[in-house]
Amino acid sequence: MCELLAMSANTPTDLCFSFTGLTRRGGQTGPHKDGWGVAFYEGKGVRAFHDADASASSRIAEVVQTHPIKSEVAICHIRQANVGDICLANTHPFMRELWGRYWVFAHNGQLSGFRSNPGFYEPVGTTDSEALFCDILNHLRTHCDRNTGTDEIIDRLVRLSVAYASQGVFNLLLSNGDWLFTYCTTKMASITRRAPFGPARLKDADVTVDFESETTPNDIVSVIVTEPLTTDEKWDVYQPGEWRLWRKGEVIRSGVATA
């Protein structure tokens, strides 16, 4: 299994803080030592970093932790390999272009033996996760176009998620830079930080930050993870089958859909 982290409407401080906590689980406080990756949306562009080594000891991860990147959506993944070799091609998040936008995907779980239907998008690596991503995009490319409304796209993503979840564990993060879609079958939790901000302490590192001194009253930051990152905040735990659509730090649609 792997662990996921997504952020919507980030401040650089919150991003570095949460990323630091997650990377400690990649070979130090957790077993997820088989590679990691992170993608930050900056406008329509994406700044992405990947490493096949453990995040807890990665020099690239050190750079990301200390670099003040401001991004409205960020997706991060640390891997414990169960399908596919440990190599750069198999590290999440995966990215493809569709309708003039970069789509970024990360998955926690396992669908043994899954093969994507033939289509325009093909996996580069050998993970079931990348095959799932290609299957999703091939479905959207076949049944929708660039003028299809967000509601219809999300309805299709929910139906696809339910179908995939019936075959195994399927915890999903997917974004096109405008919105972030999340679906949970087993483990996922979120927290939304807004004024009045307070301090928070990481569970996996001796790090505390006072967000009040690092934010403005108008900031809204949401963090979505596999397991809560802090010890002194109340996290909202997803139900099995629960999905949420995020934009600019807020949930704009949600529901529970199971097979």
Which positions are annotated as active-site residues?
2
Residue 231 burial by CB count (10 A; 0-12/13-18/19+): exposed, middle or buried?
exposed
Picking from 182, 216, 180, 176, the residue whose alpha carbon sits closest to that of residue 196 is: 216
Contact 255, 182 (CB under 8 A): no
The long-range contacts involving 233-237, CB below 8 angstroms and separated by at least 24 positions, are: 233/191, 233/200, 234/191, 235/189, 235/190, 235/191, 236/189, 236/190, 236/191, 237/188, 237/189
Q: Provide the 3-class DSSP secondary structure of residue 99.
A: coil
* Residue listed under structure tokens 């994507």: 116
Q: Which tokens is 67 given?
A: 């670099």
Alpha helix locations (H) across 91-227? 128-143, 150-165
